[in-house]
Structure 1
Amino acid sequence: MYHRRHFLNTLAASSLAALPGMLLTPTARAAKATFEVTLSDAEWKKRLSPQQYAVLRQADTEAPFTSPLNKEHRAGVFSCAGCQLPLFSSATKFDSGTGWPSFWKPLDNAVVKAADNSFGMSRDEVLCRRCGGHLGHVFDDGPKPTGLRYCMNGLALSFTPGAAPAA
C-alpha cells in the first residue's frame, strides 16, 4: 500500500508541476515571437470587440455554429480581423460540418503554425503571420488536394466579397 500511495503522490505532484504549461494559452506562448503588427493590450482592446480580443489575443474559441461566416458562400477574401491581412480565398472554403469556417489551404505567406500542447492535447495552432493573432487550428482530416482542415474562428476573420484569389 505504501508504494501505491507514494506512486500516486508522485504522479499528482508531477501533474501539478506541468499544469501551468498546459494551461498557458497558445497565443501567450507565441507572444515571445516578433510580429510586424505589435500593439499593447489596451490598443488591441480598443481595436477589437471583447469577443474578438478573447479569440485573437487570448486564444479563446467561439461556440460552434455561431459565426455568420460559417454560412458565407460568396466569392471573396477572408482576412485577419486584427490587422486585415488576407488569409484565405473563398475558393478554398468548404463545409467541414464542425461549426467553424474551414479552409483546405491558406493564401501564400498568410499564416504561421505553432505547437499547441494546452489542455493535454497536441495540436497545430494557426496564427496570423503579421500580427500573431490566434485564428484556430489545422488538422489533417481535410479534403483534397491538401488533406488539411484549417478550422478557423469566425471572430478572428473578416470577409470582403469580390474576386477570389486563385487557390
Structure 2
Amino acid sequence: MRRRHLVLGLLGLGASATAMRLAVAGAAPGNPDNKSEAMTDIETIEKSASEWKEILTEEQFYVLRKEGTESPGSSPLNAEKREGTFVCAGCELPLFKSEWKYESGTGWPSFWSYIDGHLGFKRDFKMILPRTEYHCARCGGHQGHVFDDGPEPTGKRYCNNGVALKFEPA
C-alpha cells in the first residue's frame, strides 16, 4: 500500500511540475525585448559533436554545445572597452555591439541589446525557476541568459559567457 501511495504521489508531482512548466512557457515571451519576430535569412550551421570538438576549446565546447556556464569573473572580455563587435565563438556571427556592453557587476560580460535576428530564445528550467536562455541563431551555441534588471533603454541584461564570444575591434 505504501509503495502505491508513493508512486501516485510522485506521478502527481511530475504532472504538477509539467503543468507549471507549460503554463510558464506559454506565458513567456519568445523574444524578451519585443524585437521583430521576423525570420532572418541567416543560414544555420549543423555540425556533429566531434566536428565541434575539433574547432572549439574544451571550455568553449562545454558552454556552447552543452549549455554550461563559465566561472564568474573568469573572462578577459569583462574588461573589454574598445569599440567593436562581439561575435559568436562558434561561428563568428555578430551578436552584440560594443556600445551595448555595460558593467553589470555579475562577473560576466553583459549587454542591454543585441543585433536583431541574431539570437534565438528558449525557456530553461535548470535552476528550477524558469529563465530565458539565448543562443546564436546561426550555430545554436549557448550564449547565456536574459534578465529584466538591465539599464535603459531596454531594461534587459543579456548575461553572456565570455568564452562563448570573440571580440572583433573596429
Q: TM-score range by the shorter chain?
A: 0.7 to 0.9
Alignment pair present for 1:94 and 2:105: no
- Where 2:87 maps in the other structure, the secondary structure is strand
What amino acid sits opposite 1:132 in the alignment? G
Q: How does 1:1-167 map to 2 (within 5 A)?
A: 6=5, 10-12=8-10, 36-162=44-170
- Mapped to 2, the partners of 1:42 and 1:96 lie a distance apart of 35
- Mapped to 1, the partners of 2:13 and 2:78 lie a distance apart of 38
- TM-score relative to the length of structure 2: 0.77
- Where 2:73 maps in the other structure, the secondary structure is coil
Post-superposition offset of 1:90? 0.4
- Mapped to 2, the partners of 1:147 and 1:129 lie a distance apart of 22
- Mapped to 2, the partners of 1:142 and 1:151 lie a distance apart of 10
Post-superposition offset of 1:118? 2.1
User: How many percent identity over aligned positions?
Assistant: 51
Structure 1 stretches of 4+ moved >3 Å: 8-18
Unaligned runs of 5+ in 1: 23-34, 163-167
- Render the CA deviation track for 1:48-78: whole Å, top value 9, x for unaligned: 0000000000000000000000111111100
What amino acid sits opposite 2:126 in the alignment? S
- Mapped to 2, the partners of 1:36 and 1:87 lie a distance apart of 15
Post-superposition offset of 1:13? 5.7
Q: How many residues are matched?
A: 145
Q: Summarize the Cα distance change of 1:120–1:11 in structure 2 as closer, same or farther, 3 Å threshold.
A: farther
Unaligned runs of 5+ in 2: 22-42
What amino acid sits opposite 1:55 in the alignment? V
- Render the CA deviation track for 1:107-128: whole Å, top value 9, x for unaligned: 1211011111223120000110
- Mapped to 2, the partners of 1:128 and 1:88 lie a distance apart of 11
CA RMSD of aligned residues (A): 2.4
